[in-house]
Structure 1
Amino acid sequence: MKRTMTWVLAVFMLTALAGGTAWAEADSTAEIPVPGMVTLVDLGAHKCIPCKMMAPILEELKKEYEGRAAVIFIDVWEHREAARRFGIRAIPTQIFYDKDGKEAFRHVGFLDKKSIVHVFRKLGVE
């Protein structure tokens, strides 16, 4: 029987970069991966340079794919248990889950928008 872990995070908004880009973390009721939806979990830190570079990309994708794919950021320096749960060795790490909640792809390091969109498409998200 498949076990689904629910992980609860505090709602947290932070201005990540100059210009007021809001960097939203998973909300307090988030189930990761989101049931029935392709999910991208980006595990990083607010003070990590490559992570900061990804912040505006994640915000764009979150808006563009609303209702079709979930885009979640977790700061592993603030939520150290997440690093253990997801097996993180370096940040940023992006984990993509298919609609069935199975890990489909994992990447370590900066990942540009075009590459993320490509993975979404391979997972059936248009």
Structure 2
Amino acid sequence: MKKSLAPIVIILIVISVVFFAIMPSTPQATKKLQEEISEAVADGKTVFLQLSSTGCVTCRKMKPEVEKALAEFENSNRYKIINIDVNSHKAIASHFAITGVPTQVILSGEGKEVFRNMGYMSFDNIKYAMTTATK
């Protein structure tokens, strides 16, 4: 009796998808994020960093709040919002001394950390923190 290869192929596809989903980001991707942060600071923008993890329930609950903030401030010349997966970008997480997620960090236009929160933040709290952190 001939055995079908379909189950083996399906298993290999699933393993490949899981592997690439959890595989750390490349150093080039981390460097690109670091450059994005540096450019925003060089432009004098207030930078809101959302440091999170895909496996974090609270991070997933915060995603719509951060997306609202992105929509609110996307065309702003004063603010920049950047999402960072700490598992994929360990060097950035280490630089900002992230000990738990989600963590939000706001950098002034001079690159100085002016705000930090660990835990859930609503859209209203994000907006308030961004607009008052550098006043």
Is the shorter-chain TM-score for this pair beyond 0.5, marking a shared fold? yes
CA distance in 1, matches of 2:99, 2:39: 20
The alignment of Structure 1 onto Structure 2 pairs a total of residues equal to: 104
After TM superposition, give the deviation of residue 53 of structure 1 in Å: 0.9
Structure 2 contact 52–59 (Cα < 8 Å) conserved: yes
Structure 2 gaps, min length 5:
1-26
- 1:104 aligned residue (111, 114, 127): 114
After TM superposition, give the deviation of residue 39 of structure 1 in Å: 0.6
Match for residue 64 of structure 1? 72
After TM superposition, give the deviation of residue 29 of structure 1 in Å: 4.8
Match for residue 62 of structure 2? 54
CA distance in 2, matches of 1:122, 1:103: 13
- Structure possessing the higher relative contact order (Cα contacts under 8 Å, 6 or more residues apart): 2
After TM superposition, give the deviation of residue 8 of structure 1 in Å: 5.6
Q: Which moved more, 1:30-39 or 1:102-111?
A: 30-39
Match for residue 128 of structure 2? 118
Question: Residue 107 of structure 1 aligns to a residue in which SS?
Answer: strand
Looking at CA atoms only, which structure, 1 or 2, has the larger radius of gyration? 2
Match for residue 77 of structure 1? 87
- 2:40 aligned residue (31, 34, 39): 34
Q: Which amino acid aligns with 1:9?
A: A
Structure 1 gaps, min length 5:
1-6, 11-25
The answer to which structure has the higher strand fraction is 1
**TM-score after normalising by structure 1:** 0.71
Question: Residue 31 of structure 1 aligns to a residue in which SS?
Answer: helix
CA distance in 2, matches of 1:69, 1:82: 20
Residues 41-86 of structure 1 deviation map (CA, whole Å, 9 limit, x = unaligned): 0111122111111111111111211223111111011222222111
Structure 2 contact 114–134 (Cα < 8 Å) conserved: no
Structure 1 contact 33–97 (Cα < 8 Å) conserved: no
CA distance in 1, matches of 2:28, 2:46: 19
After TM superposition, give the deviation of residue 9 of structure 1 in Å: 2.6
How large is the Cα RMSD of the aligned pairs? 2.4
Give structure 1 regions of 4+ aligned residues with deviation exceeding 6 angstroms. none
Q: Which amino acid aligns with 1:38?
A: T
After TM superposition, give the deviation of residue 107 of structure 1 in Å: 0.4
Question: Residue 110 of structure 1 aligns to a residue in which SS?
Answer: coil
